[in-house]
Amino acid sequence: KVLPKLTTAVPSSLLTVGIVTSAVKLLGLPARTLIDIAGAETFKGGLSVLPPLGLPAVPWLTAPLHTLGILLPYAATMAAVGLVESLLTLQLVDRLLDDGKRGNTSQECIGQGLGNIASGLSSGMGGCAMIGQTQVNVQSGATSRLAGIAMSVILGLGIVVGAPLLGQVPIAALVGIMFIVCESTFAWSSLRVLKKIPRADAVVIALVSFVTVVQDLAVAVVVGTIVSALSFAWQQSRAIRALVTPASAKEGTWKTYRMVGPLFFGSTQGFGDTFDPTGDPDDIVVDFAASRVVDHSALEAINGLAEKYGALGKRVHLRGLSSDCTGLLERLNGEFPGLETPTERFGITSLHHGRREHV
C-alpha cells in the first residue's frame, strides 16, 4: 500500500515481487521458491510445457456410460464451484469500480461454460474467475476485460519464455500479496456489528470466515447459503399465528381466524395447532389477507384442516387467497367435502360437491 503513493506506472504487486526476489538473491536469504514447490520440470520453459492439442485420452466410444459416470460428479462439482466464485468475483469488481455499470451474470456464466468446454476438448484445464487475482488487477488500475486478457497472455508467455525466472520467485512474496488481498477483501465492518445483529447472522459470518480459511471461498459461500436458508426457514416457521375473532352478527355463528405470517412447509405444524375443530362452531373462516400460501405443503395443510372439520360435519371457508392458490385447491380437491373457496360476498364462495354456490 506504500508503493502506489510513490508511483502507479508499475503495479505495486509486481514491484513487491521484484523487490523481495532481488533481496533474497542479493542477501542470500533462505527462502523457498516456486521451483522448490513445483519442481524443476514445471519451470523448464519452452513449448514442451504446453498441453498437446486434441481430445482427452478417455474411452468415450468404448465405454461411454462408464466414462460419463466417472466424469459427471467431478464436472458438476467444478462447474458449481466455478460459477459461485466467478459470480462473487463479478460482484467484487462491481463494488470496486463503482462506475455505474453492472456485469451481466448470464453472459459471464455462458462465456465461462463455453471456454471450459473448448479447454477440455483441447486437453486443457478448466478454470473460473479468481477473486484474489482480480482484486490485484483492479487495484493496479484495470478498468476493462482487456486487462484480464493481457494478464492471461503475459502469464502464458511467462510460462513458455520466462519460466526459469518465475521459478525463482520466493513463496513469501506471493504470500504477502495474498495477505493484502485478504485484508482488502474481508468486510471488517461486519465485526463491529456482531453484537447488534441476530445471533444466527453472527454464526453465519463466523462460519463462512472459518470455512474460507480452511477450504476456500466458493465452498464457504455454499455452506453459508445453506445455513442461512435453514435459519430463515426456522425463523419463518415460528412466525405463523392467528388473530381469532368470535362469531359476529354479520357472519352469524361463523368464527374467523385471521392468519398472519407465511404458510409453507416449515410452518404447517404451527398452522394446524392453531385451530380447535372440536370446540369451533359449524362454520369457520380462515382469512389469508395478511398471510401467504407459499408451497404445496401449505396447500396440503389447508386440505388437512378441511378434512378434520369435514369429518365433524363442519365447514371451512377460505378468504383472501390469491386466484392462483384458489385454482390449485380446486384442481387438487375436486368434490372435496367441507372445503369452500373465496369469491364475491364477504370474499367467500361455496364449493361443495362440484357445484358453486354463493354464501
Average pLDDT over residues 276-305: 87
Mean pLDDT lowest for which of 9-23, 184-198, 204-218? 184-198
Is the pLDDT assigned to residue 347 strictly greater than 70?
A: no
* Alpha-carbon Rg for the chain in angstroms: 31
The amino acid occupying position 16 is T
Instruction: Scan for cell 502469464, then name that residue.
Output: 155
Interatomic CA distance for residues 326 and 308, integer angstroms? 19
What backbone phi and psi angles, to 5 degrees, belong to 125?
A: -115, 130
Percent of residues, the chain, with pLDDT higher than 70: 88
Q: For residues 309 and 340, is the Cβ–Cβ distance under 8 A?
A: no
What residues pair up with 182 in beta bridges, in sequence order? Answer: none
C-alpha cell at 305: 384442516
Using alpha carbons, list the distances in angstroms from residue 241 to 161, 204, 215, 248, 339.
Answer: 70, 27, 41, 21, 21
Is the pLDDT assigned to residue 160 strictly greater than 80?
A: yes
What residues pair up with 162 in beta bridges, in sequence order? Answer: none
> Looking at residue 8, what is its pLDDT?
66
pLDDT 10s digits, 315-343? 888 888 877 777 777 776 654 444 444 44
Q: For residues 288 and 319, is the Cβ–Cβ distance under 8 A?
A: yes
Interatomic CA distance for residues 120 and 125, integer angstroms? 6
Using alpha carbons, list the distances in angstroms from residue 21 to 27, 45, 345.
Answer: 10, 19, 83
What residues pair up with 351 in beta bridges, in sequence order? Answer: 356
- CA-nearest of 309, 351, 307, 359 to 330 is 351
What angle do the packed helices 12-27 and 171-185 form, to 10 degrees? 150
pTM (2 d.p.): 0.60
C-alpha cell at 99: 462506475
DSSP H helical segments within the chain, as ranges?
Answer: 3-6, 12-27, 34-38, 64-97, 105-121, 131-139, 145-160, 163-166, 171-185, 189-192, 199-214, 217-237, 268-273, 296-311, 323-333
Other C-beta atoms lying within 10 Å of the C-beta of residue 217: 20
> Looking at residue 3, what is its pLDDT?
64
C-alpha cell at 166: 518465475
Interatomic CA distance for residues 275 and 27, integer angstroms? 81
The amino acid occupying position 11 is P
> Looking at residue 328, what is its pLDDT?
74
> Looking at residue 114, what is its pLDDT?
92
Average pLDDT over residues 262-282: 89
Interatomic CA distance for residues 106 and 104, integer angstroms? 6
What is the SS3 assignment for 325?
helix
